Amino acid sequence: MLFLRLLNAILVGFALSDVSQAAQTVALPKISSLPTNASQILDPRLASFSMEFSYLPTFGGNKTHPNLLTKELMQRLVERTGLGPDIRPGGITIDSSIYQANATALELDMSPSGGIYRTTYGPAWFESLDVFPNSSQIVVTVNLANDTIDIARDQLAVHTKTIGWNRIRALELGNEPDHYAGAQRPSTWGSADYTAQYLGWTTFLSRNLSLPSHIFQAAGFVDFWSVKEVIGEGITDTNTVKVFSQHTYQYSTCDPTRNAIATLPNLVNHGNITAFLDQWKPQIAAAKQVGAEFVVGEYNSVSCSGKENVTNTFGQALWLADTVLYGATLDISRLYLHQGATLVLQSSTQANTPGFSWYDQWYPASSDRFGDPHAGPSFVALLLITEAVGSSQKSQIALIPTPAFPQLVVYAIWDPISRPSRDGPARIAILNLATRNVTASARETDEGSAVLDLASGASPWTGVSYAIVTLFISLMFILGLVYPRSHLDFGVGKGNKKFDFPDFDVITHTRTLSDQHIDLNSNDRIILIGDIHGMNDSLSDLLSKLSYNQRNDILMFAGDLLAKSTHSGSLSLLDFLTANHFASTPTNQSERIFAIRGNHDQLVIQWRSWREWFERQVIPVPAGSRESKEDVVTDGKSFIELIEAEWAMERKRRESDAEEWVHVSRKRAQGTWREEWWRRIPPSGTGKKAKDWKIFGDHYWLARDMTAEHTSFLNALPLVNHVPSLHMFVVHAGLLPYNPRLPINDPRQPLAHPPRMAHASPIEPATPDNDVVDQISDNVDLTPDGQYILERRDIEDDLRQEQEKAILSDIPQNKDPWVVLNMRGVKKNGKITRKNDKGTPWSKLWNGQMKQCSGLPSSEVHSADNDTEFPCEPSTVIYGHAATRGLDIKRYSMGLDTGCLYGQRLTALVVSRGKGGEVEDGEDEDENGDEDGGDDEPEDTRDGEVGRRPRRSYAGLGRRQNNNKKVKFGDAAMQLDARLVQIKCSLPPESDPYDH
């Protein structure tokens, strides 16, 4: 049997141990087809956020200082669902808000006790929304409590214009209007009064602002009224309602009575959670009857800002996961988890004092209560939820009963994309909400443990294909996941002290581009372009030659967009990329530029991330310091500006080397107030990191002078773009087809065995009568006329995509950012080198392996028993990075860096739908004529040097032009037309990287 032992996640963290007799064994029922009680289709934005309006700038930042922690955490969710969560800036402070065009981002009028009684905001407030993913939808909430329709109209006018309809989910009037009575409204204020005002206001606003129909999110009650009531009162009569909202807080610290029962055992209890949410079943049904969605527009576990040692624990994570997943089974479309801070005006008897809320998922800024910015322990629940929901937009969920162990909660997710056979769930989420004391004996611990039997008999729960998402939580996992910290490889200060820096890499490894991103059937062209290095004028010439049209052409870049040419050229290129990233259509915006980062782009990203961190640092004057406080700089922004000015003066006084000046300045700082600041400035790297962290070089100044929009664009660039529909990877330096430290036919190599689909039943060895694709097809449901619901070709595509994913995930070198940014060759011992005069070019290994792919496994070949045939389909890598190799076109790898920076050419590979046809393959050896690699672009040992020519001529480009030359690309069945287009580049003018 396959057993999974489940221990209490709050107290034991992350643990598996031997099964004891005291632990209960729980067998799941046999459920194959989708049960009748399965939910509606899950919204990928099931787990969304409500943000206290007056604290949104703290969570989001602004153009010059976006909140990087928030950005990173949102990206973790996007990686799992493909879409950003909804954001609802609202809460109690929205009902005292006023928009003024001449106001700053946020102006708060506060009482002596810390209560916010008015929030005035201006155009810069909207910059806080930019940190959230472009795919996030915004719920626009405006002031209703003030009872002045002009305030609401002005707010809606500026919000809809600034945010744009393509990003707006719904409009909402006010926050919890059932609490207005006796304060903002007469004591007799009831649901009928609210309905009447809603109908009057929405009618006026819709006409005055030309709003679309069915655009408002109505209700938003928390205590006294219901959706069912206002529907009966006619709230839907004017066709303005799109969504009904309910706010839910299961417990509270707003008064001593409720505070007394807001305990961890009460919170972490599946029965309590389901009983609480079941109260909204009539409201959900009422919304459905009138064709509207039902959402929980604001919620958390304990109102009035949570409770210490309850909502800031892993117990909150269990409560959150169970609440959201159970809510999904009830057909709640989205739940908006509230984030903010204690607001003393909420209650005069509440337990909390001003500060970030105890229930916040992350703390976006430093505070005395919570320390440095970091994610809270319950953020991991959002990872579990988004992993369970997935990205197919076709998943459904059901609660699987476990009556023998009521606190063992199992949710099954059916996903026809992940498991096309539909003979069982694609994923299961398992929670153990049984609690125990930290002082519990071993016997007591076992009594709260369960053994989950997933493999009794012919069970749909068996099979290696299932992603079993289980909430085993550990503190180490949390800290390492969301805000990694690392010692940089250098010593600073006396005694070679090391400073514990945050991670400045901001890396997303792979982005998978679906048909929604790239669809050649719509007459689009894909234009793939090699290294630009800030040569923006040359790019303009190339695009002009191609008659580039933003709406019909997709641009893809192979990295090294920036640096090494002129400073202004790189900034102008960033202006072009950000301005043309999205193309607007009458109905939406479509992404039209897909770039990946190169090794030079990565250095710019690192410096920018460092600078934003450094400018937020504060170092008080040490007590007892003999230095005058007027001479001491205590904030990072002032210090970095100080040393930039000092370096500028040194440059004017005499020709000096920046590294030498920095070294001397560090030594002189020892024993002074400056020493602590210099410890926070990375010195130059050594060895293979020799280019890293050269202050006052080209990368440094670009990082300083970029706009916030430039930064957001760069930070979002992955290392690899994967286009499954074209079986193509775009990467800067390269990828390996196998781990060179293992035999090529080792079963651990991803191409040495049939693809293992994440959703398929276990695959048996192929037989003459039953190949792998047939095995999967045998489990696919049939239509009445006996046809497969999924075509065999679709299944083959899924298998092929899984194998392509395995190339990225199962080959350790391909997961290493340094390798995919710098690799040029592979030594005989399997080590990666960035020098092309060492070892074999990686592209030779890639093409050799791809030409040995014999197709998906059949009766003749089902594993790599020899070194000549492999059960795989080939894929193509587009790359840059290797300028002196020139135009390096092989059958399954295409190097497009043709040395524009050095006065040679800028090359585009233009792919479009065509007739295909036979084209001569590239040679197996590299274009320079030496199979094991020749000299390549010299190591960049001097940051910012401009116009330096490599030591040998550019193969191909140095001798011939390749304009409109047709090349073979992709599978023959795709019928793609691929052509090379080039322009001649001019050497960039000599420039001084310090003159800005």
- pLDDT band at residue 517 using 50, 70 and 90 as cut-offs: confident
The pLDDT, as a whole number, for residue 495 is 37
The pLDDT, as a whole number, for residue 663 is 86
* Strand, helix or coil for residue 352: coil
How large is the average pLDDT for residues 816-831?
Answer: 91
The pLDDT, as a whole number, for residue 519 is 80
- Beta-strand pair 825-826/832-833: antiparallel
CA 742 to chain centre: 33
* Strand, helix or coil for residue 314: helix
CB 347, CB 255: distance < 8 Å:
yes
Which is higher by pLDDT, 263 or 686?
263
* pLDDT-wise least confident of 624-633, 680-689, 718-727: 624-633
* Strand, helix or coil for residue 139: strand
- pLDDT band at residue 773 using 50, 70 and 90 as cut-offs: very low
The pLDDT, as a whole number, for residue 334 is 98
How large is the average pLDDT for residues 952-974?
Answer: 66
The pLDDT, as a whole number, for residue 963 is 74
Q: Which two tokens stand for residue 808?
A: 């990225």
Q: Which of 462-466, 601-605, 855-859 has the highest mean pLDDT?
A: 601-605
CA distances to 11, 278, 359, 668, 787 from 300, in Å: 22, 16, 7, 53, 48
Whether pLDDT at 330 is above 70: yes
Return the number of other C-beta atoms located less than 10 Å from residue 543's C-beta: 21
- pLDDT band at residue 275 using 50, 70 and 90 as cut-offs: very high
- pLDDT band at residue 627 using 50, 70 and 90 as cut-offs: low
Q: What percent of the chain clears pLDDT 90, i.e. is strictly above it?
A: 48
323: amino acid identity, one letter: T
Which is higher by pLDDT, 462 or 7?
462
* pLDDT-wise least confident of 737-751, 822-836, 953-967: 953-967
The pLDDT, as a whole number, for residue 447 is 64
* Strand, helix or coil for residue 243: strand
CB 610, CB 602: distance < 8 Å:
no
Whether pLDDT at 121 is above 90: yes
| Separation of alpha carbons 963 and 908, rounded Å | 9
Whether pLDDT at 947 is above 50: no
Instruction: Give the pLDDT confidence of 780-810 residue by residue, as tens digits.
Output: 443 333 333 344 456 677 788 888 999 998 8
Average pLDDT, whole number, for the chain? 80
- Beta-strand pair 408-414/427-432: antiparallel
* pLDDT-wise least confident of 343-347, 568-572, 733-737: 343-347
Instruction: Give the pLDDT confidence of 565-605 residue by residue, as tens digits.
Output: 999 999 999 999 999 988 865 555 688 999 999 999 999 99
Whether pLDDT at 454 is above 80: no
Instruction: Give the pLDDT confidence of 472-504 residue by residue, as tens digits.
Output: 333 323 332 333 333 333 333 333 356 778 888
Nearest to 44 by CA among 79, 17, 91, 1: 79
How large is the average pLDDT for residues 629-640?
Answer: 82
Instruction: Give the pLDDT confidence of 157-197 residue by residue, as tens digits.
Output: 999 999 999 999 999 999 999 999 988 899 999 999 999 99
Whether pLDDT at 149 is above 90: yes
Whether pLDDT at 814 is above 90: yes
**Angle at which helices 314-329 and 379-389 pack, to 10 degrees?**
30
The pLDDT, as a whole number, for residue 993 is 53
Nearest to 927 by CA among 899, 900, 955: 955
CB 354, CB 367: distance < 8 Å:
no
Nearest to 408 by CA among 448, 372, 465, 446: 448
How large is the average pLDDT for residues 637-659?
Answer: 84
CA 158 to chain centre: 28
Cβ-defined contacts of 283-286 (< 8 Å, 24+): 283/226, 283/227, 283/228, 283/244, 283/246, 284/330, 284/331, 284/332, 286/226, 286/227, 286/228, 286/231, 286/244
The pLDDT, as a whole number, for residue 469 is 40
Task: Provide φ and ψ at 625, rounded to 5°.
Answer: -65, 140
| Separation of alpha carbons 617 and 637, rounded Å | 8
The pLDDT, as a whole number, for residue 504 is 87
pTM of the model: 0.52
The pLDDT, as a whole number, for residue 320 is 96
CB 524, CB 532: distance < 8 Å:
no
Residues in the chain: 996
691: amino acid identity, one letter: K
Please give the class, per CATH, of domain 47-368: alpha beta
Whether pLDDT at 662 is above 80: yes
Whether pLDDT at 884 is above 50: yes
| Separation of alpha carbons 448 and 8, rounded Å | 7
Whether pLDDT at 836 is above 80: no
Residues 6+ positions from 628 with CB-CB distance below 8 Å: none
**Angle at which helices 68-81 and 708-715 pack, to 10 degrees?**
40
Helix (H) or strand (E) holding 431: strand 427-432
* Strand, helix or coil for residue 619: coil
Residue 952 is classified by DSSP as S
| Separation of alpha carbons 739 and 979, rounded Å | 32
Instruction: Give the pLDDT confidence of 720-730 residue by residue, as tens digits.
Output: 999 999 999 99
How would you class 839 by CB atoms within 10 Å of its CB: exposed for 0-12, middle for 13-18, buried for 19 or more? buried
The pLDDT, as a whole number, for residue 967 is 92
- CA torsion, points 7, 8, 11, 15, in degrees to nearest 10? 20
CB 884, CB 930: distance < 8 Å:
no
Instruction: Give the pLDDT confidence of 64-110 residue by residue, as tens digits.
Output: 999 999 999 999 999 999 999 999 999 999 999 999 999 999 888 87
N- to C-terminal Cα separation, the chain:
68
- pLDDT band at residue 255 using 50, 70 and 90 as cut-offs: confident
Q: Where do the CATH 3.20.20.80 domains begin and end in the chain?
A: 47-368
- pLDDT band at residue 954 using 50, 70 and 90 as cut-offs: very low
φ/ψ bin of 746: left (φ > 0), alpha (ψ from -120 to 50), beta (otherwise):
beta
The pLDDT, as a whole number, for residue 463 is 40
Whether pLDDT at 417 is above 60: yes
* Strand, helix or coil for residue 5: strand
| Separation of alpha carbons 614 and 637, rounded Å | 7
Which is higher by pLDDT, 434 or 209?
209
Q: Which two tokens stand for residue 776?
A: 């999967």
| Separation of alpha carbons 663 and 643, rounded Å | 13
Nearest to 763 by CA among 793, 738, 785, 795: 795
Residues 6+ positions from 483 with CB-CB distance below 8 Å: 69, 72, 373, 374, 375, 502, 503
